[in-house]
Amino acid sequence: MSEKLALFGGPPVRSGQYYPNKLGDEEKQIAVSVLESGILSGFAADANEQFYGGKYVKELESLFCQRFSCKYAVTFNSATSGLHGSMIAAGIGPGDEVIVPPYSMSATATAVLMCHAVPVFVDVEPDMFCINTDLIESFITTRTKAIIPVNLFGLPSDMDPILKIAEKHNLIVVEDNAQTPGAFYKGRLAGTIGCMGVFSLNRHKNIQCGEGGVVLTNDKYFAERLQLTRNHGEVVLFSMGRNDHADVVGYNYRLSELHAAVAIGQLKKLDEFNNVRVSLANHLTERLKEIPFMTSPKVRKDCTHVYYRYPMLYDRNKLGISRDTMVKALQSEGIHVSNYVAPIYMSPIYQKHKYSESDNFKRRFPEYNGTVNYSLGINPVVETLYKEKMIYTNICMPPNSKKEIDELLDALKKIELNLDALINNEKGLE
């Protein structure tokens, strides 16, 4: 019998915090030079160069274009605003439907709601967690205008079938690539395969500047609409005497010079950071072979994974305790693990508008003439992942090392050895 589980008063496998997603000296230096310049934003909603932002915003955009071999990069102050901008650029509006996977951060779908359009949720793959491309076509209607595949946890979605379906039905594809910068899909970089690709620079991501986003595209039309959305575009069109893009409502979605400067430092380290993630993830995958009740993540054929999160599938039948008990036991051993978010449609905003025949729905989407149903059970695969199977960890990020990975293994083995105590006390833990 090994030591008592921390859940029952024993010493935890790990004590102390994990390191935060750290910045280096390069980012500090460049941030100081921005502060010294006194110019914290270079934007103005004027029909001149300031419409496109300041020196660091432009440099960051140019570096993104180089790094991702892309014609246009438009920075935003978050991926959420970038996703909204992409929906506006795509011309999404009232009455339209946009296909999204339910397993993602909520902004993937709220970007659609922000355009008064209707998100249609298509279930995910049971083993790779991205949208299940076999299911997409059965959800396409005359109202469908776009698909937002989410490259989840660091793995690209299966883009070839998505592009084929999009071409057949004339749909715009916006990749939500917030979690997957630098990963490859069959030789192409994730986030550059659809019509637009949205990246996040928030504090949790593979590279970060606190808050920020970037949208990549090779299409001038989309780039222009993204720029207009970002910076009060209606003012500029008026000053320029232009009437095109008059449907675009402009926001203040501008990235500050300080954030752009930090992001420049981070972008230069993307490969270095991703290499650490991949190497720690490979070590974890190797070691998980010792654990019969946990399955390591699959990597899609001819693709690479950049492990924003390391997702594991838990099999309660092999151990006899629930996933939630397992998560609690690991967390009390001081190990970072978590369940991933609930399917997006479980949130109150969707549950309040569950049926298109309801008054709530009709009030919110008066122009919509289709049928939706957001009730529980619509996407069984994601619901099972959420309720029973998914456990992810973020310990594969730098500056962690194999030590942190081995601690997870120690904790899993400790739990296995103390199984009887857990089974006997599981009711009391709920």
Ligand X SMILES: Cc1ncc(COP(=O)(O)O)c(C=O)c1O
Q: What residues line the site for ligand X (CB under 6 A)?
A: 78-80, 104-105, 107-108, 150, 176, 178-179, 200, 202, 213
Q: Which is nearer to ligand X, 213 or 398 (CB)?
A: 213
Minimum CB–partner distance for residue 267 and ligand X (Å) = 15
Close Cβ partners of 426 (under 8 Å, ≥ 6 residues apart): 321, 322, 325
Q: Which is nearer to ligand X, 150 or 291 (CB)?
A: 150
Q: Which is nearer to ligand X, 259 or 414 (CB)?
A: 259
Shortest CB 83 distance to ligand X, Å = 6
Question: Dihedral (C-alpha) 333, 334, 336, 338: value to the nearest 10 degrees?
Answer: 50
- The nearer residue to ligand X, 293 or 340, going by C-beta atoms, is 340
Q: Is the CB of residue 265 less than 8 Å from the CB of residue 30?
A: yes
CA atoms 79, 85, 86, 92: torsion sign:
positive
Whether 327 and 391 have beta carbons less than 8 Å apart is answered as yes
**Nearest distance from C-beta of residue 53 to ligand X, angstroms:** 17
CB-nearer residue toward ligand X: 179 or 274: 179
What's the min distance (Å) between Cβ of 7 and ligand X?
29
- Closest to 17 measured CA to CA, from 400, 385, 284, 406: 400
Give the residues across from 312 on adjacent strands.
391
Gap between the Cα atoms of 71 and 229, Å rounded: 19
The residues, ordered by sequence, that sit 6+ positions from 96 with a Cβ below 8 Å of its Cβ are: 115, 117, 118, 143, 144, 145, 146
* Residue 180 beta carbon to ligand X: minimum distance, rounded to whole angstroms: 9
Minimum distance of ligand X from residue 418's CB (angstroms)? 34
Q: Of 181 and 250, which has the nearer Cβ to ligand X?
A: 181
Euclidean distance between CA atoms 200 and 256, whole angstroms: 15
